[in-house]
């Protein structure tokens, strides 16, 4: 399929001429005026499909572009035309793109090695090789002068594939086997392979459509979850015994609720295997001794709508992260390992209305939490008995900190990751006994990066209902003038409770040094300020996300960080929904917009339960079979609300094999937008053969990023 589609693109580029794009006149009636525009872009035929629902006729002129099998020749030809048109429109940026690409690459250490993680008797790490797209995964014995053992060379595994992504990756407890999963299409359907490390060869069994994997303690059994073909949902857990045939694998659990996903993992102390199943608001877990792999899993507590709980284990107790008892910001409870199903859970770490408990980590002697208070993260290292301990706090205005991979239960060192808009990605070991920090590594920025040249701020914009919306931003001190003259890139997301963290980017320096301000609008729908912040931006409150973003844009303009003709907005996936909605509501505020794999046709997607994420996302957007939710989703859905008005220049990307936001959403939106809008600004659509995250190779990724930067610079009149 990929080769067939790629052939279309290659043929089109080799035979490119402007005549390959349709040219038509477009008549728009606006206030009884007929506006005639000439177009040189591909024009999709209109073939109305009408759905009667809730006494409303929902019309879709471009439904024919939705091809689940991705084999329709007419659709493929239309996408080919879009890519030809995009190539034509973006060709003028090739020189600037090359310059930016070389800048970006020049700041990156292409021979980098990750900080090793000790697991049992080995040190595990990855390294990058100059000129190679992918990492090489290695280990060596934790003794002096030990030799490197290459476990996986992703460059070798990627040969013959346009896309390669490593999913799960776990070595057996006896260090003899490596189980790993690969996706070579971008559709997130991973294949499980098991490598016998001593002999460097694969076992004869491969398993398709695998997500999570976990080993039993005896290293003879591997547990895995699988994705079904009906709606791309992980719904089954199997056990495979090393050395046996695939058909002998035992089905251990099947989830019948179409909104729930399943996974399998192990407690950090290696005592229990866990099967989890959850949708966006409810979870349920089962456990089994990892020393008894042939036993049966026992349910911890039956699911109850709206109650989430997740397990870890320490000293004969399960520690349960949960929102039970109206603990919307989460708390931790404990229960005896022999009777977790009794419901006799005890509060261990209490719920607080002003603190969101984001994560926790159990060690033999210490209990660690990651918390958010007033939009700022803190790590706490506590004693199990007294819950007294130390806070690891941070001083910068806009930063992010997270717990790293800490696989060693007995360790007294906590590893965490810190970065900010001005501080490169840093890995730190914190001695929980002494409080001493050891900076193991900071991302190298070649060419003499000086963080003092850049300033980050955290400011607030007042939204329509009085809520104060945080904005994290950074700029070059020497280039910035608070007079509205600076171009500004504003990003947003605001969905699923995900936190849009301030992050460092060495590539971004190319924008900052050319006078750009970079900003993140922390709109409601994320959890930057706790569970309430999330709830105020989902379901029947989703409109708050869009109004928050508009308020941030207006504030940045009124406070002279930028101006309407210098403000560029960007969002990806559900962030693309955000950008699509605000473009319909306030297109006058923006010079240009970039939408990456955007979720734009919310109403039609949520009405199709055969798509992978639909049913599970009723808890996020609402079920349109209910008229209340149907009317509300339709009121903001970007595809439904394109208006007869001017829009700024727009650049859209899509992944042809993307299983999360299917390619037809941005393709349909672009076709409809071009037909309805009244301006002659360009709408460019690029459809790649990749999946949701774009190119998998690092050089390809930076090439794509350089093109987007060139597009932004061109939009604000910067040509070098």
Residue 604 phi, psi dihedral angles, 5° rounding: -70, -35
Instruction: Calculate the CA 538 to chain-centre distance.
Output: 18
Helix (H, G, I), strand (E, B) or coil at 44: coil
How far apart, in whole angstroms, are the C-alpha atoms of residue 397 and residue 387? 28
**Strand pairing category for 683-688 and 649-655:** parallel
Q: Say how far apart CA 274 and CA 301 lie, in whole Å.
A: 13
Residues 95-126, buried b or exposed e (16+ Cβ, 10 A)? Answer: ebbeebbebbbebbeeeeeeebbebeebbbbb
189-214: b (≥16 Cβ within 10 Å) or e = bbebbbbeeeeeeeeebebebbbbbb
The residues, ordered by sequence, that sit 6+ positions from 366 with a Cβ below 8 Å of its Cβ are: 381, 382, 383, 384, 389, 412, 414, 432
Q: Specify whether 658 is catalytic.
A: yes
Nearest to 550 by CA among 509, 581, 512: 581
Q: What count of residues does the chain have?
A: 720
Residue 379: phi, psi to the nearest 5?
A: -110, 130
- Among the options 505, 510, 573, 690, which is catalytic? 573
Contact 81/65 with Cβ under 8 angstroms? no
Q: How far apart are CA 19 and CA 259, in angstroms?
A: 47
Residue 573 designated active-site: yes
**Alpha helices (runs of H) in 107-151, residue ranges in sequence order:** none
Q: Which of 658, 690, 695, 696 is labelled catalytic?
A: 658
Q: State the Cα–Cα distance between residues 106 and 124, nearest whole angstrom.
A: 28
Q: What is the DSSP string of 599-667?
A: ---HHHHHT-TTSTTTGGGHHHH--TTSHHHHHHHHHH-TTTT--SS---EEEEEEETT-SSS-THHHH
Q: Work out the burial of residue 363: count CB atoms within 10 Å of its CB; fewer than 13 is exposed, 13-18 middle, 19 or more buried.
A: buried
326: left (phi over 0), alpha (psi -120 to 50) or beta: left
Catalytic pick among 283, 596, 692, 696: 692
CA neighbor of 492 nearest in space, from 577, 589, 399? 577
With contact defined as beta carbons under 8 Å apart, do 520 and 502 qualify? yes
CA-atom Rg of the chain in angstroms? 26
Query: Contact, 553 vs 585, CB < 8 A?
Result: no
Q: 660: Cβ–Cβ under 8 A, 6 or more apart, which residues?
A: 188, 573, 597, 612, 613, 691, 692
- The DSSP symbol for 112 reads -
Structure token digits, residue 588: 């006058």
- For the question of residue 211 being annotated catalytic, the response is no
- Cα dihedral 572, 575, 577, 579 sign: negative
Reduce the DSSP state of residue 52 to 3 states and report it.
strand
Contact indicator for 607, 623 with CB cutoff of 8 Å: no
Known catalytic residues are: 573, 658, 692
């Amino acid at each position: 399929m990929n080769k067939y589609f790629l052939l279309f693109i290659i043929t089109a580029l080799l035979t490119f001429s402007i005549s390959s794009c349709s040219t038509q006149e477009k008549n728009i009636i606006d206030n009884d005026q007929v506006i005639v525009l000439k177009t040189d872009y591909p024009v999709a035929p209109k073939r109305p499909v009408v759905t009667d629902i809730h006494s409303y006729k929902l019309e879709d002129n471009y439904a024919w572009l939705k091809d689940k099998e991705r084999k329709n020749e007419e659709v493929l030809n239309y996408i080919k035309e879009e890519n030809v048109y995009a190539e034509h429109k973006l060709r003028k940026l090739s020189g600037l793109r090359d310059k930016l690409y070389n800048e970006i690459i020049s700041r990156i250490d292409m021979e980098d090695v990750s900080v090793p993680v000790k697991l049992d008797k080995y040190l595990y790490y990855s390294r990058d090789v100059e000129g190679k797209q992918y990492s090489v995964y290695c280990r060596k014995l934790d003794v002096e002068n030990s030799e490197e053992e290459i476990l996986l060379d992703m460059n070798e595994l990627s040969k013959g594939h346009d896309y390669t992504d490593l999913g799960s990756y776990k070595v057996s407890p006896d260090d003899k086997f490596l189980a790993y999963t690969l996706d070579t299409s971008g559709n997130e359907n991973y294949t499980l392979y098991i490598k016998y490390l001593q002999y460097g060869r694969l076992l004869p069994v491969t398993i398709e459509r695998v997500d999570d994997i976990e080993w039993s303690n005896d290293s003879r059994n591997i547990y895995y979850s699988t994705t079904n073909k009906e709606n791309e949902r992980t719904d089954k857990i199997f056990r495979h015994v090393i050395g046996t045939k695939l058909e002998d694998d035992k089905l251990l659990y099947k989830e019948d609720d179409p909104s729930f996903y399943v996974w399998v993992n192990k407690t950090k102390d290696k005592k229990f295997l866990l099967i989890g199943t959850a949708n966006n608001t409810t979870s349920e877990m089962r456990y089994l001794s990892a020393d008894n792999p042939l036993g049966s899993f026992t349910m911890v507590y039956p699911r109850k709508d709206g109650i989430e709980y997740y397990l870890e284990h320490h000293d004969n107790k399960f520690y349960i992260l949960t929102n039970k008892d109206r603990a919307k910001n989460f708390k931790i409870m404990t229960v005896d390992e022999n009777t977790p199903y009794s419901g006799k859970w005890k509060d261990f770490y209490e719920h607080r209305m002003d603190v969101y408990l984001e994560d926790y980590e159990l060690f033999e002697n210490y209990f660690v939490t990651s918390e958010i208070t007033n939009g700022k993260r803190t790590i706490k290292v506590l004693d199990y008995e007294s819950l007294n301990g130390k806070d690891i706090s941070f001083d910068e205005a806009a930063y992010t900190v997270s717990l790293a991979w800490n696989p060693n239960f007995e360790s007294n060192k906590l590893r965490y990751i810190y970065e900010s808009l001005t501080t490169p990605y840093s890995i730190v070991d914190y001695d929980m006994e002494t409080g001493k920090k050891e900076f193991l590594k900071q991302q190298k920025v070649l060419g003499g990066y000086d963080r003092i040249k850049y300033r980050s701020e955290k400011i607030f914009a007042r939204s329509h209902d009085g809520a104060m919306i945080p904005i994290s931003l950074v700029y070059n001190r020497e280039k910035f003038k608070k007079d509205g003259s600076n171009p500004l890139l504003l990003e947003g997301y605001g969905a699923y409770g995900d936190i849009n963290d301030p992050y460092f980017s060495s590539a971004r320096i190319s924008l900052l040094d050319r006078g750009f301000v970079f900003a993140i609008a922390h709109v409601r729908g994320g959890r930057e300020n706790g569970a309430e912040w999330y709830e105020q931006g989902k379901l029947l409150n989703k409109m708050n996300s869009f109004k928050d973003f508009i308020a941030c844009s207006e504030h940045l303009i009124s406070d002279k960080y930028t101006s309407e003709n210098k403000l560029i907005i960007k969002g990806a996936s559900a962030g693309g929904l955000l950008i699509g909605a605000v473009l319909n509501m306030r297109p006058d505020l923006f010079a240009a917009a970039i939408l990456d794999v955007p979720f734009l046709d919310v109403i039609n997607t949520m009405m199709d339960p055969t798509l992978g994420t639909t049913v599970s996302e009723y808890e996020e957007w609402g079920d349109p079979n209910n008229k209340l939710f149907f009317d509300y989703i339709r009121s903001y859905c970007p595809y439904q609300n394109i208006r007869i008005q001017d829009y700024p220049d727009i650049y859209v990307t899509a992944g042809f094999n993307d299983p999360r936001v299917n390619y037809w959403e941005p393709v349909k939106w672009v076709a409809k937008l071009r037909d309805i809008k009244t301006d002659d600004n360009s709408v460019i659509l690029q459809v790649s053969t990749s999946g949701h995250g774009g190119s998998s190779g690092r050089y390809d990724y930076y090439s794509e990023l350089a093109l987007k930067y060139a597009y932004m610079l061109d939009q604000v009149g910067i040509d070098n």
